Amino acid sequence: MKRSSIKRWFVLLVVCAAAGGGGWYWYQEKNKPVEQEPLLATVRLGSIENTITASGTLKPSNYVDVGAQVSGQLEKLHVEVGDVVEAGQLLAEIDARVQAERVNASRASLEGQQAQLDALRSAL
């Protein structure tokens, strides 16, 4: 082997060893546990303000569907928005005149049907 060829291999070996050593040192420094120093501040009087900006849709943490079995005009509302309610609690009073008129009309219709049935029975 020529002397220049040996010299090239030696330089290549030195360069590879230096690169390997540098990589090992970088890896060791990167994975070294970080020592945290305590956060020090001077105590002074003042106001604390923290501003948070966000975008998106707000959703309640608890959501309950409240459905009414009847509809009509509200006469009185017994709860406010955000109140905690319990099962069976009176939430609102609805004007019952519309439902009372429907009941009366249904009774009148029933009496009319009953009269027609009696007429058909007597004709039979």
**Per-domain boundaries in the chain:** 1-30, 74-123
Q: What pLDDT shows up at residue 108?
A: 94
The 3-state secondary structure of 2-22 reads CHHHHHHHHHHHHHHHHHHHH
Indicate if the pLDDT at residue 106 is higher than 90. Answer: yes
> Which of 15-19, 31-35, 38-42, 100-104 has the least mean pLDDT?
31-35
Q: CA-CA distance, 49 to 39, in Å (whole number)? A: 19
pTM score over 0.75: no
Q: Residue 118: pLDDT band by 50, 70, 90 thresholds?
A: very high
Around Cβ 94, how many Cβ atoms within 10 Å? 15
Residues 6+ away with beta carbon under 8 Å from 73: 94, 95, 98
Element (H, E) at 75: strand 74-77
Q: Residue 35: pLDDT band by 50, 70, 90 thresholds?
A: confident
